Amino acid sequence: MLIKFFRRAGPAEVLLIFLVAAGVWAGAFVNPHLSVVNNYDSNPMPLYGFLKMAIGEHALYGVIFSFVLVLLMSFMVVNFNTNQFFINERTFLPGLIYILLTGFFPSLQLLNPVLPASIFLMIAIRRIMDGYRIPGTAYNFFDASLLIGAGSLFYANLIWFQLLVVIGIILLRTGNFKELVISLLGFLTPALLTTGLYYAFGKSITTLPGILYENLFSPVVQYNFSAFIIAGLVVLGLIILISTVHLLSLLSSKKIKSRKTFSVLVWALVLTIVVYFALPSASVEIIWFASIPISYILAHFLIFSKKKLIPGIIFAVFFLIIIGMQIRYLI
């Protein structure tokens, strides 16, 4: 019943999704706080440092800012499918799933650098796919790399997603060496401009590399997983695994562009998992990145699964997990 309702795209669905978002973030508004334990807070990347200065010690302002970004991301997630039409159905379901995923770790519903960086990642993925079948040299990959480089000035670990641009070139193009070069130039441009600004204001040109190294390789305080959260993660992991296997089983039957779009999204999820497990500087905050591909993969399963009862059960379980996380956080 819920799936059928949210699969539609009308004003009533928009209103209900907003109410769901408000409910998912209710705990953050009731108990706003600032994060002060991670490297990205104690030694922030330049753009996140400016954002922290603007918010100051007003934790509620940080929550409001982050909530607005979540609503924006939900719109962008839906709009990407509307533009590319790779799920083959105009639906608000990916946006709803994204909002629900932001409620899995309620303690992360505060001002953080990963959420604004995820905006850049989302636009970069869109620019990658805009490079499909463009004659000659596709400068979309310069744009995508520029966005990755700029987003990394909020959250350093976004740097590793430059590999997604390279993967996109390999998947969508014919190994155009020029596009690889211009993508590298786009990626380096924000860092070079920032270094130039540091120098112009009398700071050492090694300032940015030092901050970058600290944010990329220094260990962060790891999240304390309770038994309840571990159980929720296991169930959520099984749902994602089932949805991914279902997608891969149908991938060969899809149109070429849809197939390549889903391939890029799956690679984005793989990169997120690798970064989380391989780097001591990454913790559960990286779920903001993972939520982008997961939203589409899970929405695809819920829409196209032939056994209609199973998607309803899975969506209900998923919904209840998020509600359970919020209730536990509030009490």
| Residue 64: C-alpha distances to residues 33, 44, 67, 109, 111 (Å) | 12, 20, 5, 10, 9
pLDDT digits (tens, 9 = 90+) for 126-176: 999 998 888 877 789 999 999 999 999 999 999 999 999 999 999 998 767
Q: What is the mean pLDDT of residues 269-282?
A: 95
Quote the pTM value: 0.94
The pLDDT, as a whole number, for residue 39 is 76
The pLDDT, as a whole number, for residue 13 is 78
pLDDT digits (tens, 9 = 90+) for 196-237: 999 898 888 889 999 999 999 998 877 888 888 999 999 999
For 146, the token pair is 């520029």
Q: Give dist(CA 148, CA 153) in Å, integer.
A: 9
Half-sphere exposure of 242 (CA within 13 A, CB side): 18
pLDDT digits (tens, 9 = 90+) for 18-58: 999 999 998 899 888 877 667 788 889 999 999 999 998 89
pLDDT band of 100, cuts 50, 70, 90:
very high
DSSP category for residue 120: H
The pLDDT, as a whole number, for residue 9 is 65
pLDDT at 239 over 60: yes
How many percent of the chain have pLDDT more than 70? 96
The number of beta carbons lying within 10 Å of the beta carbon of residue 209 is 12
pLDDT band of 2, cuts 50, 70, 90:
low
Exposed e or buried b per residue across 192-207, where buried means at least 16 C-beta atoms within 10 angstroms of its C-beta: eebbeebeeeeeeeee
Q: Contact at 8 Å (CB) between 51 and 111?
A: yes
Q: Contact at 8 Å (CB) between 47 and 153?
A: yes
